[in-house]
Structure 1
């Protein structure tokens, strides 16, 4: 099997995912998954596409991720892995991934701060007198 690559984005994070046949090794920015993501919840997010398609331990994943925070990076990697799996075998993997919502890019972004107020939606307290 040749190498499949895909792009995953979430908030400000961008992940380039390279998927190839292997033993289940996940390498992120030249570090293992356990070293890069210390929390179990983030490792779970990254492994969700493999769990849904029942392909744990069948593919090696190499990822370069930049921008955003750790949660956004984990979700960007999840989208990249799901897209690569879908590209690999559309009939087998795509329906399960689509049903879980892993092929949809989460478009929610931080709203910008507006001038003359303390935040995006917050206003300074109004004083009548």
Structure 2
């Protein structure tokens, strides 16, 4: 092995690394759908998206029927609206556990993840808006010797 005398010689000796393949690739099942799991509080949503007319079905019901409150309907549609894909994908979701608010958040999380699996270039937009982050806040458990999780019983001097 020859010794190098200067930095110029070093530049020619080092091989340039090949450019890496893209990290995020499209993940589809045999039916051409993207699948993702969304979670929020105690709710877990299994979400499939496929090209379509923009129909959203939650637990075999239309989402406006399942989530009657307009705020929950808006939460469900946020990822699709931010990505400018309104009316391009059909969403099928099954959600269990928790209450309606947690379920809506779980479906939103699942739709966001499924969109990134179908179109990896949407990841930056969805991540910037915080839709890919799992909201890990859950209800704190009740402790023994306490009235609730943190509340103490009323103090009695006598």
TM-score, normalized by length of structure 2?
0.79
2:140 and 2:125 map into 1 onto residues whose CA distance is 32
Q: Which residue, 98, 103, 117 being the options, matches 2:146?
A: 117
Larger Rg computed on CA atoms: 2
1:19 and 1:26 map into 2 onto residues whose CA distance is 9
Q: Which residue, 54, 57, 79 being the options, matches 1:24?
A: 54
Q: Is 1:48 matched up with 2:78?
A: yes
Task: Identify which of structures 1 and 2 has the higher relative contact order when contacts are C-alpha pairs closer than 8 Å and 6+ apart.
Answer: 1
Q: Which has the higher strand share?
A: 1
Shift of 1:128: 2.4
1:118 and 1:125 map into 2 onto residues whose CA distance is 9
Aligned residues: 128
Q: Mind listing any 5+ residue stretches in structure 2 that lack a counterpart?
A: 1-27
Deviations 1:43-88 (A, max 9, x none): 0000000110000000001000001000000000000000000111
Q: Which residue, 12, 26, 37 being the options, matches 2:67?
A: 37
**Over the residues paired in the alignment, what is the CA RMSD in angstroms?**
1.0
